[in-house]
Structures are given as structure tokens and as C-alpha cells.
């Protein structure tokens, strides 16, 4: 690890984290968002502090160029406030969202919780979003000139969006808001949020087929990555991959959060304390399944698919494990919260 990364990591572990972890997680997230956004006009300073670049880290995947293979996953920058500063922090790509057509204030609190022994976070946001138009307007104002930005698209978590047809129209609305914006370099199609009120699921292949057929008709030019569930059998995952490929979509992200609280990645006493709280979990408990799905999908579909490995990356070694399992790129959130903002640079230094 470079001296710069070591200093940032030490400051984070011994100074910032003890303070931040004593406060409510959502409050800390809001504070970081405000501070981060205020630094967007100082990209040189932010880059100097955090970023690491090397020409050979550049990668082109599905025709899109990434400055390095380490991205910020959906769920940290919901409404695009940090879109301008994140490339300077050293992320090779950053996803905004999940964005939904209509605004939603989020599920009742608590929406976030920390499980440090399990290296995990409880997530119960339920597609908190300011809505596609407002987010697009914000991003337009930012005059984004560098970085590779993507939009994660979901369907509005509202009682009236209660059928497959309505949810599909809702997804399409958001795609249409963003598809003509030149700064949008890729999309994520989120079919795997486990915290929404929608009675039916797009993980069922017949519903997924209707969705991707509808998306295909929109003639979207940016690559689309399907955000896959974590707890899915190889057979069910294969069905979704095949349906996506038949409809011209060849990008996949393995994967989203875990629901099963008996996952062996949890510290048993710690998870028991969350018995009364709704939500799903990120971080270490997602690691094993995500890696198995990457290995399986790469083996079965070869170069027909592009894969982003996501879930439980806390170190350069974890990232390399996903890349050697067959991922083209990786994404993270929870690792950065536990280890510090130098993590993307730290990973890139070792690639
Ligand atoms: C606070 C939080 C919010 C999240 N929200 C979303 C979301 O809106 N859409 C989505 O596709 N994934 C969401 N995720 C899942 C992450 O994108 C990622 O798939 C998962 O956390 C595993 O990566 P990690 O272990 O590096 O955090 C969220 C994760 C966290 C921690």
C-alpha cells in the first residue's frame, strides 16, 4: 500500500470511523453526501488525496471505457449529489441510484444499521429516490466532464405500482429520462431489490422476459447490466441470463443484498440483535454466493457475457478474487464504509 493510502487508512480507522460509528448511520451518510458534494469543485485536491491512476488500468467493457475496474455500487449516491466528486475519489465508474420514476421517501426508519463483527450493513431503504426528473436535472447542472457514470433503474416503490405492466411502464419512464443524456455511459436494471412492496418479482423469468422485451423496444444505446439477486440457484440465474442475451442484454452484476439471516457469514449474536428490524444485508455475507455465481456464469456463458463482481470486497485480495473468478469489473460500498475512502486506490495499486 502506498504511503498516501496508508495515511488515509489510518486517519479513517483511528479518527473518523470511531466518531462516525458513534452516530446514526443515515445521519453520517447525509453528512458525507453534503461534504462530498461541496468538494466537487476541487477535483485536483480530492484526486491528490485519494485517487490512483495508471494508464494500464483502463478497461473497455461492452464498448464503454472505464478508467479503472473498481466502481461504486448502487445505493451510496441515490440522488446523484456525489456524481462529480466520485471519479476524483478514484472510482473507475460510479452508479447513481437506484433511481425510480416517481419520488419515494424510503421505508420507515431504521433504514440502515451496522453489523461490524459480520462486516455488514442492514439496508431497508426500499428505493428511496427523489425521482428520475429531479435526479436528471441535478446531474445536468453538474456539467459532468470526466468519469464513467451509470444509472441504476428500478420501479417506483408505491402502492399504485402493483402489477407487472405498471412496473414495466415505470421502469421505461426512467430509462427514457436518462437514455439521451450524454453523460450516462451505462445502465443497471435492478430486478433484485428485496425491500419493495411490489407483490410480484422480476426474478421470475416470465416477468423478466416481459421487462427486457419492453426495454429492448426503447432502443437504448448504452450497455445495460442486470443487477442479479444473491440468493438464486445457478439454474434460475442461467434462465435470466439466457432471456437477457436473447434480448440483446449481455451485462450482469453479481450481486445484490442477502435476505437469509442464517447465512454463515453473520456473527450469530450480532444478527440476533436485528431480529425486530426489517431489511437485507450487504458486505461479507454476500461474498461467497457472489463469487460462486461469477465463476459459474463465466464458465457457462464464456465471452458472451460481461460481468461486474459485487459483494463483500474489503481488500485488494477480495477484489482480485472476483476478477480471477471471471469478473471484468468490480463494485463495492460496504468495504469503503468499514475500511475507508482509500480502498478503490488501494485495490488499483495492486492490479
Ligand atoms: C446502503 C446500501 C444501499 C443499497 N441500495 C441499493 C440500491 O438502491 N440498488 C441496488 O441495486 N443495490 C443497492 N445496494 C446493494 C449494493 O449495490 C451491493 O450490491 C451490495 O451492497 C453488495 O456490495 P457491498 O458488499 O460492497 O456493499 C445497497 C447497498 C447498501 C449497503
CATH architecture for residues 3-349? Alpha-Beta Barrel (3.20)
Per-residue pLDDT at 135: 98
Q: With contact defined as beta carbons under 8 Å apart, do 73 and 81 qualify?
A: no
Q: What is the per-residue pLDDT across 62-111, written as a single tens digit (0 to 9) for each?
A: 999 999 999 999 999 999 999 999 999 999 999 999 999 999 887 877 88
Cis-peptide, bond into residue 110, ω within 30° of zero: yes
Per-residue pLDDT at 193: 63
Percent of the chain residues past pLDDT 90, beyond the cut = 81
Which residue, by CA, sits nearest to atom 3 of ligand 1? 75
Q: Using pLDDT thresholds of 50, 70 and 90, give the confidence band for residue 197.
A: low
Q: Considering only residues 37 and 1, tell me which one the structure prediction assigns the higher pLDDT.
A: 37
Distances (CA, A) of 12 to 16, 27, 205: 5, 18, 44
Q: What does the pLDDT average to over 172-179?
A: 98
Which residue, by CA, sits nearest to atom 13 of ligand 1? 75
Per-residue pLDDT at 163: 86
Atom of ligand 1 at shortest range from CA of 332: 26
Q: What does the pLDDT average to over 228-250?
A: 97
Of the listed ranges 1-10, 162-171, 186-195, 239-248, the least confidently predicted one is 186-195
Atom of ligand 1 at shortest range from CA of 192: 11
Which residue, by CA, sits nearest to atom 21 of ligand 1? 282
Per-residue pLDDT at 223: 98
Which residue, by CA, sits nearest to atom 10 of ligand 1? 74
Q: How far apart are CA 231 and CA 237, in angstroms?
A: 10
Q: How far apart are CA 307 and CA 323, in angstroms?
A: 9
Q: Using pLDDT thresholds of 50, 70 and 90, give the confidence band for residue 60.
A: very high
Per-residue pLDDT at 273: 92
Which residue, by CA, sits nearest to atom 4 of ligand 1? 75
At residue 194, does pLDDT exceed 60?
no
Q: What average pLDDT does the chain have?
A: 93
Atom of ligand 1 at shortest range from CA of 255: 19
At residue 333, does pLDDT exceed 60?
yes
Distance 56 CA to ligand 1 centre (A): 28
The pick from 72, 75, 127, 130 for probing ligand 1's pocket by mutation, whose C-beta has the most ligand atoms within 8 angstroms, reads: 75
Q: How far apart are CA 70 and CA 57, in angstroms?
A: 10
Q: With contact defined as beta carbons under 8 Å apart, do 103 and 82 qualify?
A: no
Atom of ligand 1 at shortest range from CA of 230: 19
Per-residue pLDDT at 162: 84
Give me the residues paired with residue 331 across strands: 71, 310
Q: Using pLDDT thresholds of 50, 70 and 90, give the confidence band for residue 2.
A: confident
At residue 181, does pLDDT exceed 70?
yes
Instruction: Quote the cell numbers at residue 287.
Output: 461474498
Task: Please enumerate in sequence order all residues whose Cβ is within 8 A of that of 229, keeping only pairs 6 or more positions apart, or say none.
Answer: 191, 192, 194, 203, 255, 256
Q: What does the pLDDT average to over 143-153?
A: 93
Per-residue pLDDT at 199: 64
Q: With contact defined as beta carbons under 8 Å apart, do 175 and 218 qualify?
A: yes
Per-residue pLDDT at 154: 94
pTM higher than 0.85 for the full model? yes
Q: What does the pLDDT average to over 320-324?
A: 97
Q: Using pLDDT thresholds of 50, 70 and 90, give the confidence band for residue 201.
A: confident
Atom of ligand 1 at shortest range from CA of 283: 25
Distance 127 CA to ligand 1 centre (A): 11
Distances (CA, A) of 91 to 71, 86, 209, 273: 5, 6, 32, 34
Q: What does the pLDDT average to over 143-149?
A: 90
Name the DSSP letter for residue 104: B
Per-residue pLDDT at 250: 98
Domain boundaries, the chain: 3-349
Residues with CB under 6 A from ligand 1: 73-75, 98, 112, 121, 123, 125, 152, 190, 193, 227, 256-257, 282-283, 286, 310-313, 332-335
The pick from 106, 186, 280, 282 for probing ligand 1's pocket by mutation, whose C-beta has the most ligand atoms within 8 angstroms, reads: 282
At residue 57, does pLDDT exceed 90?
yes
- Terminal-to-terminal C-alpha distance of the chain: 12
Q: What does the pLDDT average to over 267-289?
A: 94
CB atoms closer than 10 angstroms to residue 18 = 10
Q: How far apart are CA 186 and CA 36, in angstroms?
A: 23
Q: Using pLDDT thresholds of 50, 70 and 90, give the confidence band for residue 137.
A: very high
Distance 257 CA to ligand 1 centre (A): 6
Q: What angle do CA 284, 306, 151 make, to 5 degrees?
A: 75
Which residue, by CA, sits nearest to atom 19 of ligand 1? 256
Distance 333 CA to ligand 1 centre (A): 7
Distance 331 CA to ligand 1 centre (A): 10
Amino acid at each position: 500500500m502506498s504511503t498516501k493510502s496508508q495515511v488515509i487508512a489510518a486517519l479513517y480507522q483511528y479518527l473518523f470511523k470511531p466518531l462516525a460509528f458513534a452516530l446514526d448511520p443515515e445521519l453520517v451518510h447525509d453528512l458525507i453526501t453534503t461534504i462530498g458534494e461541496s468538494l466537487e469543485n476541487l477535483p485536483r485536491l480530492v484526486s491528490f488525496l485519494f485517487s490512483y491512476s495508471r494508464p494500464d488500468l483502463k478497461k473497455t467493457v461492452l464498448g464503454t471505457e472505464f478508467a479503472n475496474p473498481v466502481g461504486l455500487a448502487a445505493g451510496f449516491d441515490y440522488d446523484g449529489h456525489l456524481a462529480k466528486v466520485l471519479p476524483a475519489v478514484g472510482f473507475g465508474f460510479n452508479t447513481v441510484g437506484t433511481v425510480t420514476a416517481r419520488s419515494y421517501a424510503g421505508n420507515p426508519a431504521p433504514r440502515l444499521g451496522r453489523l461490524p463483527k459480520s462486516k455488514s450493513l442492514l439496508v431497508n431503504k426500499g428505493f428511496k429516490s427523489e425521482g428520475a426528473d429531479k435526479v436528471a436535472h441535478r446531474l445536468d447542472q453538474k456539467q459532468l466532464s470526466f468519469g464513467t457514470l451509470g444509472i441504476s433503474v428500478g420501479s417506483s416503490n408505491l402502492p399504485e405500482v402493483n402489477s407487472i405492466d405498471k412496473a414495466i411502464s415505470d421502469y421505461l419512464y426512467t430509462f427514457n429520462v436518462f437514455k439521451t443524456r450524454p453523460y450516462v455511459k451505462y445502465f443497471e436494471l435492478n430486478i433484485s431489490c428485496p425491500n419493495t412492496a411490489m407483490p410480484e418479482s422480476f426474478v421470475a423469468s416470465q416477468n423478466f422476459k416481459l421487462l427486457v422485451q419492453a426495454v429492448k423496444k426503447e432502443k437504448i444505446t448504452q450497455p445495460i447490466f442486470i443487477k442479479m439477486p444473491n440468493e438464486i440457484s445457478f439454474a434460475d440465474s442461467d434462465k435470466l441470463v439466457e432471456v437477457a442475451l436473447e434480448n440483446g442484454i449481455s451485462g450482469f452484476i453479481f450481486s445484490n443484498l442477502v435476505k437469509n439471516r442464517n447465512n454463515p457469514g453473520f456473527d450469530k449474536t450480532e444478527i440476533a440483535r436485528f431480529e425486530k428490524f426489517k431489511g437485507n444485508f450487504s458486505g461479507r455475507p454476500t461474498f461467497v454466493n457472489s463469487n460462486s455465481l461469477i465463476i459459474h456464469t463465466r464458465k457457462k456463458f464464456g465471452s458472451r457475457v460481461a460481468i461486474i463482481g459485487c459483494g463483500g470486497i474489503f481488500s485488494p485480495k477480495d477484489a482480485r478474487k472476483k476478477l480471477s473468478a471471471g469478473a471484468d469489473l468490480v463494485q463495492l460500498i460496504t468495504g469503503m464504509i468499514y475500511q475507508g475512502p482509500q480502498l478503490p486506490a488501494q485495490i488499483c495499486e495492486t492490479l
